[in-house]
């Protein structure tokens, strides 16, 4: 592990309003932990920034000292891009303010804000931006990778609601990027991940949803999975954009609305949110209950902010996580056979496979309208390996990889960059799709020496 000299640490501290946590500090081990416990990296120092000026100083310091640089928003990235070995971590977790201009339907969101921070501020006015499904996720990483969740069928990817961003570049400049200022940088930020600088503030368009929504879970026995999945496929093809229904296959957690005999048994779960008038939504979702033998359901009107936290208990920090992912434009029977086989061999009670329904508004922009290219995707599949004991690493990772291979034939070829693990560098071009070459050109302009490289990296185009 690289230790900075005391003189270097003093130089770093002198330019920072926030805190500098070097290796050996009492707070160091807790500060370097991220959501995925498989990530165990040892930076030379962590800079817990209090303002944009701190970010500028940390970027300049890392660049001038020739040190690796990582950027931490929520620390949720599966590949651990929030932390690096022997370098500087820019930790934005103290910069989490959210300011909502309700009449203009705009939100100004600091780079360290979580989904919970953003949702709470926007929902005070009955407004939203499409975000993810786990409230402790960072807004920054989610957005820069494209971003999708329950509201994406109605309002698009998260980047489709991004109006502008303030970015600290590799040169230490603070640039405002929008459709009219630094437009090539703004294009690249909308899906190009953390390759182009540190975003200290996002400016989002907001949309009217909530504060009460119709949402919930419907659970069926896994023995009926094929029939349920086929009916789901037909239902999803006809569903209005306001309705998002995902399928989750796993062992049933101890949900209070399920009989105790079902706990720990393999199940198929339909998870849904309706983004319109709940009364209209109730008639739309009623057919879902008849897809099979109903083991239990909990569907009703609830605060949107509560639904956004509904999956948090299954996604707490500290477990070991390994993911594999594909995009799909359709869900054929052969894929259902493969997923049924995989769920029959779950290596841990926490593992699951889900199909997240997008489509609708996510498909309408042109593939080159923003860096996020996968406008043909109607479902994003994640094979979520999750377990607690390092002794189970090989077994659980092999399970995820085996199903990934078994399902590849049915996939559309693209992948959601935020679901890539740190051993999937060979899939980077698939993540950025047809936009990769343009992204490499933008990278050459704004980060020619690839300072921002601890990510699913886009190398600068050669001159």
Q: Domain containing 280 — which CATH number? A: 3.40.462.20
Q: pLDDT tens digit string along 59-79? A: 999 999 999 999 999 999 999
Residue 2: is its pLDDT beyond 80? no
Co-location of 259 and 193 in the same domain:
no
For residue 451, is it within any domain? Answer: no
Co-location of 255 and 310 in the same domain:
yes
For residue 15, is it within any domain? Answer: yes
For residue 307, is it within any domain? Answer: yes
Co-location of 222 and 141 in the same domain:
no
Co-location of 197 and 297 in the same domain:
no
Select from 68, 91, 114 the last residue of a domain.
91
Q: Which domain holds residue 184?
A: 98-209+433-446
| pTM for this predicted structure | 0.97
pLDDT confidence of residue 180 = 98
Q: Say how far apart CA 445 and CA 422 lie, in whole Å.
A: 26
Co-location of 235 and 371 in the same domain:
yes
For residue 463, is it within any domain? Answer: no
Q: Domain containing 201 — which CATH number? A: 3.30.465.10
Instruction: Provide mean pLDDT across the span 355-368.
Output: 98
User: Considering its fold, how many domains does the chain have in total?
Assistant: 3
CA 311 vs CA 77, 129, 183, 341: distances in Å: 17, 19, 36, 25
CA 105 vs CA 94, 127, 308: distances in Å: 25, 8, 20
Q: pLDDT tens digit string along 17-44? A: 999 999 999 999 999 999 999 999 999 9
Select from 91, 117, 147 the last residue of a domain.
91
Q: pLDDT tens digit string along 104-152? A: 999 999 999 999 999 999 999 999 999 999 999 999 999 999 999 999 9
Co-location of 143 and 280 in the same domain:
no
Q: pLDDT tens digit string along 183-237? A: 999 999 999 999 999 999 999 999 999 999 999 999 999 999 999 999 999 999 9
Co-location of 274 and 389 in the same domain:
yes
For residue 358, is it within any domain? Answer: yes
For residue 461, is it within any domain? Answer: no
Co-location of 205 and 223 in the same domain:
no
Co-location of 42 and 61 in the same domain:
yes
pLDDT confidence of residue 4 = 86
Q: Domain containing 44 — which CATH number? A: 3.30.43.10
Co-location of 48 and 151 in the same domain:
no
């Amino acid at each position: 592990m690289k230790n900075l000299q005391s003189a270097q640490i003093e130089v770093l501290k002198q330019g920072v309003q926030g805190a500098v946590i070097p290796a050996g500090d009492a707070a160091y081990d807790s500060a370097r932990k991220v959501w995925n416990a498989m990530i165990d990296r040892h930076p030379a120092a962590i800079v817990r920034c209090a303002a944009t000026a701190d970010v500028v100083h940390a970027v300049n310091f890392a660049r001038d000292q020739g040190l690796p640089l990582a950027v931490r928003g929520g620390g949720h990235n599966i590949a651990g891009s929030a932390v690096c070995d022997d370098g500087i971590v820019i930790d934005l977790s103290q910069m989490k303010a959210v300011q909502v201009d309700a009449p203009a339907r705009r939100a100004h969101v600091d780079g360290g804000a979580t989904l919970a921070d953003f949702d709470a501020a926007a929902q005070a006015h009955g407004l939203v931006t499409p975000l993810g499904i786990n409230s402790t996720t960072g807004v920054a990483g989610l957005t820069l990778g494209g971003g999708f969740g329950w509201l994406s069928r109605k309002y698009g990817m998260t980047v489709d609601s991004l109006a502008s961003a303030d970015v600290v570049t590799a040169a230490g400049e603070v640039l405002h990027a929008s459709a009219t200022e630094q437009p090539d940088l703004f294009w690249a930020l909308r899906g190009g991940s953390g390759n182009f600088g540190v975003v200290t503030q996002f400016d989002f368009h907001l949309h009217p949803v909530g504060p009460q929504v119709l949402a919930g879970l419907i659970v069926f026995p896994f023995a009926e999975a094929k029939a349920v999945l086929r009916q789901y496929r037909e239902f999803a093809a006809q569903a209005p954009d306001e309705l998002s229904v995902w399928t989750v296959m796993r062992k049933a957690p101890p949900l209070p609305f399920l009989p105790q005999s079902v706990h720990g048994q393999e199940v198929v779960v339909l998870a849904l949110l309706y983004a319109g008038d709940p009364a209209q939504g109730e008639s739309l979702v009623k057919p879902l209950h008849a897809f099979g033998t109903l083991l239990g359901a909990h569907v009703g009107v609830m605060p949107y902010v509560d639904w956004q936290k509904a999956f948090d208990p299954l996604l707490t920090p500290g477990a070991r996580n390994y993911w594999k992912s594909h995009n799909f434009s359709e869900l054929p029977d052969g894929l259902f056979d493969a997923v049924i086989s995989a769920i029959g061999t779950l290596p841990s009670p926490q593992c699951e496979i889900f199909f997240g329904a997008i489509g609708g508004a996510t498909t309408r922009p042109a593939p080159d309208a923003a860096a996020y290219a996968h406008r043909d995707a109607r479902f994003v599949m994640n094979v979520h390996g999750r377990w607690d004991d390092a002794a189970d690493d090989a077994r659980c990772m092999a399970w995820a990889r085996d199903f990934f291979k078994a399902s590849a034939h049915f996939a559309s070829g693209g992948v959601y960059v935020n679901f890539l693990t740190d051993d999937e560098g060979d899939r980077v071009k698939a993540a950025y799709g047809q936009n990769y070459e343009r992204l490499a050109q933008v990278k050459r302009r704004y980060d020619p020496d690839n300072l921002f490289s601890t990510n699913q990296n886009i190398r600068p185009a050669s001159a």
